[in-house]
Amino acid sequence: MGNDFQGDHLDVQTRRLSRRQLILAGIATASVALLQACGGQEPIPQNTPASSGDSGSQGGTGSTPASTADTGSGASATEEVTHQRGGIIKVAMIGEPPSVADAMFTTTTVTSDITRHIFEGLFAQDSEFNPRPMLVDRYEISDDGLLYTFTLRSGIKFHDGSDLTSEDVVASLDRWGVMTGRGKIVYARLADDGVQATDPLTVTMTFKQPTGILLDFLALHEAFIMPAAIAREVGTEKLPDEKTIGTGPFMLKEHQVDRLIRLVRFDDYQPRPEEPDGHSGRKEVYIDELHIIPVPDVTVATNGLITGEFHFARDVDPDQFQLLESDPNVVTIIDKPGMWICVNFNKKQGPMTDKRLRQVVAMSFDRQQALIAAFGNIELTRLDPGIAMQETAWHTDVGDEVYRNVDPEAAKALLAETDYNGEPLRWLTTKEYPYHYNTAAYIKQELEKIGVNVELVVSDWATVVQRRAQPDLWELLVVGLPGSWHPATQIFNDKEWPGWWDDPRKDEILSKMVELADPEERYQTIVEYQQLIYEELPFIKIGDSHTLQARRAEIQGYVTGNAWFFWNVSLKQG
Amino acid sequence: MLAYAIRRVLLAVPVMLIVASAVFLLMHFAPGDPVGVMLGPDASEEQRLALREKLGLDDPIVVQYVRWLSHVLRGDLGQSLFLDQPVTTALAERAQPTILLGILSLIVAIVIGLTSGILAARSRGSWLDLSLMGGAMVGITVPSFVLGLLLIFFFAIHLRWLPVAGFQPLSAGLWESLRYLILPAITLGAGQSAFLGRMTRSMMLDVLGQDYVRTARAKGLAEQTVILRHTLRNAFVPLLTIIGLMTATLMSGAVITEQIFDIPGMGRLLIQAVVRRDFPLVQGAVLVIAAVYVLINLVVDLLVGFVDPRIER
């Protein structure tokens, strides 16, 4: 998917050939008709997964109440699952990651998807994206909010057999503080004595000013913990495969570039005692191995899922939704929250610096129609004004009246009041990701109805990324943003990010959002922030988009939401 | 013969350098930033600048070109920006799938193409000729991705005889490797066989009309001898050139077929490298592909000289 949070690398690999898709759809229909004509209505026979029993079953079972929130086949009930050990789960991943698991080096999703299996942080997100202790046993925050004391769990081992100590945490966080945007925010607020290892299992963080958002940041995959020696040796370089050593439930065993990333169960893993909740709580690994296979073509991934060559497809072609829904061996998953898309404006120079012109765009087009144009399948989209999506604790409806105010006549009247004199507005877009181009094409048509000229500047995604950094080259573009990120961490907060939203009121609200420790007070800053967005319209939210994924039915205990993971799941035997 | 071969190899050096230099310039003047692709959009400007500096992408283009060329002349194609491995290693890893696929599809193309062309020429105007050439026309006009998808739907999804996609190296076992390559080889070889079949028929008919063929038949030679010894051998010179070009194309990676069947070969690697703006990898791959073309053309020229000594003279 060509969204910003997933990263450019991923984007450039998901080149879908629309002509091929059309032909594919035709062929699929014709083939199904032909096969049915030849062989009647017989369903495709269940295929034994290639992995079942491939590796020695180590015995042992476990029972986990698993909430299967899959959308396909109508499954939504909570079921009691008896897990058995053994087997290999094969995942079709959209492409080779720029780093296997170094989420500090790159923000691409293909990397963070693997990071969460190998590494852990002090905290992890629960199903509502709240921070919950992971490597931390207990923690205290001083009354003035300036001192955080974390006591680590004892007996935690890294994959190389060494024990987790506070030195590892300090070295890892120091690297995080240098390499990532959120780490830099935290480290800029630290006092001189900053992050300290006060004893082998205790870490303190001392701040100059309250930093209430710290735990939310520490729960992100990028704030992972590695052995101190590796963190110091690697520094800001990309973590090489042989040094990809964490405390997580899986270990990296083998990496064949563009062919296979092989993770195996870490038998010395110490699960937490709490019930599983999102990425937090107890993690039990029942499968022997997790094979992540780069499959750049979503059609190949879908076909492999149908035949049982893959057990899980990270990205599925929405055009094949119905095909998968009709297969009893496959369960479709609408992965929420996914992302939200918006029309971003160049606020540094040119006509879109005029707020009235941004309001004209906002009133000119129907959000629902734009989402249909973008994603085709309405089941994968949602109308919602929130900059944090409904699944998170940070969601708010503030600004809904602006979001839903579509009034082309009023837009036309307002346009007449502006200095706009018919010059074409340049819209950077790409056909590599159909939603970029399709959204632009639909809104262009609506804008032209009210007298705004739009010129679509179409290029490949890498070129869009380069050009959007140059304010003299564009006025509008579509952006995909993560729905699961805390509003304080969104990339458009950075006034240097393309779009250049520079507003002291925003900075003031964000400062409070980072500072306040009380969750209620902090939530109010999010409300204020969203209000400001709908007042200023630095961008126009179009709507939410969910990711279509699919898995084989023999995977037991799979839980949807907040990205995929394969602990607490097993393969149905036999 | 040896002097001829050496002269051809020496002539190939400037050709390869011109091709590689043109690709270097085109890649560097094209918009797009590999650092943005590697770090993701959330990276700070500071991080981007640091990585650009580390990779030498902030140097003037002339400096980058001279540096790249000097490394190439020493046999070092550089380091892939994205894959974080030497370009030679990346190419070597992708060579096996591409070469295996190329060989298998070439076998498909030659066996089907030559056989159908000879049979059609022998039975000119018959139903067999019409059927074979009609089939060849279909083979030429049906795009490989359509044929590939049809084969997948029938043999992999419906019958489940063969895997949908993927690749297994020879080290996994001959059959294990072959079963992944059967459908892609048919997909890739079918179009080539159709083209080769039509060319073979045409060349054979041309030769069958020659006086010496009539003489051979008048001497009472068996039809099989006339076809194989007198006709095919003379028709083979232009066919050899076609097969040579076909081989070069197949050995340089079949982008669409590799994409449809998820084969990690040279074609897919090159496309991904272009999209990711992985400059060293694109340059290295193009250089290797140019070398493959030059080498195969040389071999074909030598073979043609061997088959028809008049050409060598």
Q: How does pLDDT run across B52-72, given as a tens digit for each residue? A: 777 777 788 888 888 888 888
Indicate if the pLDDT at residue B85 is higher than 60: yes
Of B30, B33, B163, the CB nearest to A465: B33
Does B264 sit within 8 Å of A258, measured CB to CB? yes
Q: Is the peptide bond before A337 cis (omega within 30 degrees of 0)?
A: yes
Residues of B in contact with A13 (CB under 8 A): 272, 275-276
The domains of chain A are located at 336-547
Neighbours of A409 (CB within 10 A): 9
CA B302 to chain centre: 20
Minimal CA separation from B100 to chain A, in Å: 16
Tokens encoding A471: 């304010």
Residues of A in contact with B184 (CB under 8 A): none
Does B163 sit within 8 Å of A15, measured CB to CB? no
Task: Give the nearest chain A residue to B150 (CA atoms).
Answer: A27
Does A96 sit within 8 Å of B41, measured CB to CB? no
- Looking at residue B275, its pLDDT comes to 79
Residues of B in contact with A296 (CB under 8 A): 259, 262, 268, 272
Q: Report the predicted TM-score, pTM, of the whole model to 2 decimal places.
A: 0.78
- Looking at residue B43, its pLDDT comes to 62
Tokens encoding A92: 């079709």
| Percent of chain A as helix, strand, coil, to the nearest 5 | 35, 25, 40
Does B32 sit within 8 Å of A309, measured CB to CB? no
Instruction: Write the pLDDT tens digit of every residue in B154-195.
Output: 999 889 899 998 898 898 899 999 999 999 999 999 988 999
- Looking at residue A197, its pLDDT comes to 97
Kind of pairing between the strands at A131-133 and A330-345:
unpaired
**Contacts of A24 by beta carbon, 8 Å cutoff, 6+ apart:** A299, A319, B149
Kind of pairing between the strands at A78-84 and A88-93:
unpaired
Indicate if the pLDDT at residue B243 is higher than 70: yes
The CATH superfamily holding the domain A336-547 is Dipeptide-binding Protein; Domain 3 (3.10.105.10)
Please give the Cα distance from B88 to B100 (Å, whole number). 19
| CA distances, A199 to each of A72, A150, A167 (Å) | 50, 11, 9
Pick the range with the lowest mean pLDDT from A154-163, A326-335, B35-44, B232-241. Answer: B35-44
The percentage of chain B sitting over the pLDDT mark of 70, rounded to a whole number, equals 94
Give the mean pLDDT per block of 10 residues along chain A (574 residues). 40 36 42 37 30 34 42 45 91 88 86 95 92 97 94 97 97 94 90 94 95 92 96 93 97 92 96 94 96 88 91 86 89 88 96 97 96 88 93 92 96 96 94 87 96 92 80 94 83 86 95 89 95 97 92 91 88 80
Contact predicate A297/B262, CB 8 Å:
yes
DSSP three-state, residue A175: helix
Beta bridge partners of residue A541, listed in sequence order: A342
Please give the Cα distance from A116 to A151 (Å, whole number). 22
Please give the Cα distance from B49 to B42 (Å, whole number). 14
Q: Is the ipTM of this complex over 0.90?
A: no
Closest to A152 measured CA to CA, from A318, A270, A61, A312: A270
Residues of A in contact with B40 (CB under 8 A): 6-9, 98, 106-108
Average pLDDT over residues B82-91: 87
DSSP state of A5: T
Where does the pLDDT of residue B116 fall: very low under 50, low under 70, confident under 90, or very high at 90 and above? very high
Residues of A in contact with B84 (CB under 8 A): 238, 240
- The number of C-beta contacts closer than 8 angstroms across A and B is 155
Of A15, A95, A107, the CB nearest to B40: A107
| CA distances, B291 to each of A396, B2, B100, B252 (Å) | 61, 19, 18, 10
- Looking at residue A41, its pLDDT comes to 31
Beta bridge partners of residue A157, listed in sequence order: A163
Does B50 sit within 8 Å of A236, measured CB to CB? yes
Tokens encoding B234: 């003379």
**Which one is predicted more confidently, B78 or A361?**
A361
Give exposure, A350-377, as e/b (b: 16+ Cβ within 10 Å).
Answer: bbbebeebbbbbbbbbbbbebbbbbbbb
Please give the Cα distance from B45 to A450 (Å, whole number). 38
Where does the pLDDT of residue B40 fall: very low under 50, low under 70, confident under 90, or very high at 90 and above? low
Tokens encoding B145: 């991705």
Residues of A in contact with B183 (CB under 8 A): none
Residues of B in contact with A258 (CB under 8 A): 83, 93-94, 264, 268-269, 272
Indicate if the pLDDT at residue B30 is higher than 80: no
Minimal CA separation from B141 to chain A, in Å: 15
Tokens encoding A373: 């144009």
**Which one is predicted more confidently, B42 or A357?**
A357
DSSP B190-236: HHHHHHHHHHHHHHHHHHHTSHHHHHHHHTT--HHHIIIIIIHHHHH
Does A309 sit within 8 Å of B164, measured CB to CB? yes
DSSP three-state, residue A264: strand
Does B158 sit within 8 Å of A20, measured CB to CB? no
- Looking at residue A40, its pLDDT comes to 33
- Looking at residue A468, its pLDDT comes to 86
Closest to B163 measured CA to CA, from B144, B182, B145, B149: B182
Mean pLDDT of chain B: 85
- Looking at residue A574, its pLDDT comes to 64
